[in-house]
Structure formats: structure tokens, C-alpha cells
Amino acid sequence: MKQAGAGLGLSVPAARDQVAGWDTWRRARHAFVPAPARTFGQWRAMTPLERSAFDLHRMATHANLPLLDTPMSQRVDRLLSARIRTNAFKAKPSTRAGVMISGGGYQGKTETTCEIVAAFEDSWRALHHQVHPDASPGTRDLWVPVAYVQTPVTAKPKSTCKAILNFYGAPTKNMDLPDLIRQVAASLTDHGTKVLVLDDITRLRMHRADDQDTLDLIRAFMSMNVTLVLIGVDIPASGLLREGRLDAASGQGVLPPSRHATAHGLEATQTERRFDLVELDRFRYDTDEQITAWTTHLTGVEQALRLMNAPPGMLTSGRMPEYLFARTNGVVGLLERLIEDGCTEAITSGAERLTENLLDALPLTLAGASRDAEAGEIPAVPAAPTRRPRAGRRRNTAFDDHGPAASDTA
């Protein structure tokens, strides 16, 4: 029996906002090996050490549930993948249209986007036989098709440039803003970057002058021959698009030119900055189609669980789909947290199955260190239901035979 973690693909979480961390995550993102399915009999036949290791493996499995496709994520995948690939093959110096991915907190925006752009990088590297196609003769430039950067909490033009340059490990000391912008442009070009992802973009507050300048600078990045992907919470309501207009013909948001557009020698004729806006929404539970989509997703989750007393349809039969929706409001991140905590409790308690009573005792708390509540990154969590004892069901006595009616003269 393997020790827990040995050969399972488990490792220290990589810092994806740095080149080495991103590459480590990209290569290993599908490497985790879930625990095999076992019966109670097989579990009892193990030695105590084997049982302990197997239980740890099961907990690791529940802590690393697979990223499942949903109708909403598939819509994002279709749009983003097509946009990235179209832009990657453009030879003209025109501005590349970008993509804004909006949605609520804990709805899987970051993981969905990272999976899509990592899949693009895999295919782009394979297309070029793992060799940087635009490397300068006589040099060995590090090839970085995708750059993933988190927007600084207090974003300013300088700090945003430095966050991008920190991804590449490029120097930033003693540089003024024009130098930083030129260094960003040089890094994107020299490393063959085709996609620049800026996560948590709605940390920008449009009532602050520094944040307005930062957004203006970000628009300039679109002229650097990359696909700019912005991820944020409720982008339409954030103010990021308030200066733009919607192009009815293309369905794209069109933003005015950036004042920084000539800071590093860009052509002044590039006057438009276009974005496709796509929503990664939560599940809904109003129509038959929506209920079916939710239940299908629960089926996928259930198949990934390793509980030894779990009946068929544990998450999809009876009231459970409706209960899970009420606890999570259809937010996939909240569902994952509830299921993970529930499986841990089911294993440690010996119940080995998920029930409403077991889940009722588990509050959903989202005290995440890297989440900005003011930017909407922490969603409202539905309160756990308060169960009342069910009153005994009253029997229908309408058809009871009470015998002959009493006489008035008796």
C-alpha cells in the first residue's frame, strides 16, 4: 500500500503568478491520482497502517475534486479559446480583441480561465515542437506563451507593471513608469507571450484617479500583440466599462484609446480597444433544463467521492439536489467546500455517506486570506437551514364510519 501522497501527484501548491510556478502547475494540473474505490470489506481487510493511509488518500481526493464542465464554463471555453487562437495567428499589427470574464465570487472564474489558457499553451507548444518560434538568433529566450498575473489590491500603474514583470522575474528597481511600460512590452515580445491574464481586475475602484490610470494603462497592453484576458466580479457593475460603448453588430464592448498608447512607441492610429464580455454564472434552479444541469453536475461530483457507505444517487435523489442548491445558491465553489467538509466529517465519524442531517451541522465559512470582500470576491453564503421537528401527519377522517347518528329523542 502506498503511503498517502506518494505518487499521487500531490505537491506544494505552485505560485502561478510567477513563470516557474505557472509552468509547474500547468504540467502537473492533471497529475493527481484519486483514491481507488473500496468496499467496507476490503477496508477492514487492510492493516491499521494501510487503513490510515487509505483514509488520508480519500481525504486528499475530496480536497482535489476535478474541475467539471458546466454549461456556463463551456460557454466561456468556446468564446475564450476561439479568441485566443484567432489572435495568436494574427500577423497584422492591429490591436487584438480582449476578453472580460465576469461572475460572482467562488464561481470558478480563475480555475476555468487557467485551465483554458493552459490547454492553449499545451497545444501551442506542441504545434511548434516545444521550440520558441520567435527566439532571437543566438539567444535562448525563455518561452512563456501565457502570463498569469493577479491585480495588486491597491493597483497603480507602476505596481501593475511591476506585478507583470515579477511574473517574468524581470528587473524593476529604480524604473519610472515609461521605463516600466517599455520593459513590459519587451518582456511580452521577447518571451513570445500570446495571452496575458489579469485576475481580480475589479479590485480597481473607478472613483480613484490611480485606478483610472491603471485601467487606461491596461488598455495599452492590448496593442502589445497579446490577448488580454481580464477576470473580475460583476464587471458590468464595476465601472470598468463606463467609458465604453457596446457595438451592436459584434456584441463587443468598445473602449476609447489609451493615453499611454505612445509611451513605448505604439502606433497612434490604434484607437479602439475591444473586449468580448462573457458571464460565468452560477447554476439556477427554476426550469426543468436548469434543474437537469444542476443534477448532472451533482452526478459528476458524486462519481469523484470515495465514501464506502454511499448509496447510488446519494447527491441526486430525493430532496438532496434541492437541499444542496439551497445551501450553496448554485455556486460551484460553495458546493465544493460543503462537499469537502461533509466528506471529511463522514469519514471521521464513520458515517461514510452524506445526508442532510450531517451537512446541516457544517457551517460554510469563507475566511479566505487572499479574497477581497470589498471587490465582491466573497459571496453571500446562504444560512444553514433550521430543522424543526416534523409534526405527525394528521389522518384524513372524511370517510370514517362513525356508526348510526344519535337520535334527538334518545
Q: Would you place residue 387 in the very low, low, confident or very high pLDDT band (cuts 50, 70, 90)?
A: low
Q: Which fold has domain 71-279?
A: Rossmann fold (3.40.50)
For the CA atoms of 278, 284, 290, 294, the dihedral, rounded to the nearest 10 degrees, stands at: 100
Q: What pLDDT was estimated at residue 404? A: 43
What global pTM score does this model have? 0.85
**Is-contact 297 252, C-beta < 8 A?**
no
CA distance linking residue 222 with residue 194, whole number of Å: 11
pLDDT of residue 329: 95
Task: Find residue 230's DSSP bridge partners.
Answer: 100, 198
Q: Which residue, among 86, 249, 263, has the nearest Cα to 186 in the 3D structure?
A: 263
Residue 272: pLDDT band by 50, 70, 90 thresholds?
Answer: low
- Tens of pLDDT, residue by residue over 82-101, are 999 999 999 887 778 899 99
Task: Give residue 180's region: left, alpha or beta (phi > 0; psi -120 to 50).
Answer: alpha
Query: Mean pLDDT across the chain, nearest whole number?
Result: 84
Pairwise CA distance, residues 1 & 47, whole Å? 10
Residue extents of the structural domains in the chain: 1-14+29-64, 71-279, 289-382
pLDDT digits (tens, 9 = 90+) for 5-27: 545 656 667 799 999 999 999 99
Q: How confident is the model over 263-278, as a mean pLDDT?
A: 60
Nearest to 350 by CA among 2, 3, 55, 31: 55
Residue 2 binned pLDDT confidence (cut-offs 50, 70, 90) = very low
pLDDT of residue 247: 64
Is the pLDDT score of 253 beyond 70? no
Q: Best-predicted range by mean pLDDT among 35-44, 216-225, 245-254?
A: 35-44
74 three-state secondary structure:
helix
369 vs 73, residue with greater confidence: 73
Q: Which residue has the cell 464580455?
A: 277
Residue 302: the pLDDT is 98
Question: Which grid cell is 136?
Answer: 532571437
Considering Cα of 221, then 222, then 223, then 224, what sign does the dihedral take?
A: positive
CA end-to-end span of the chain, whole Å? Answer: 86
Q: Mind listing the pLDDT tens digit for each residue in 121-173? A: 999 999 999 988 888 776 666 899 999 999 988 878 899 999 999 999 999 99
User: Can you point out the beta strands (E) in 9-93?
Assistant: none
315 pLDDT higher than 50:
yes
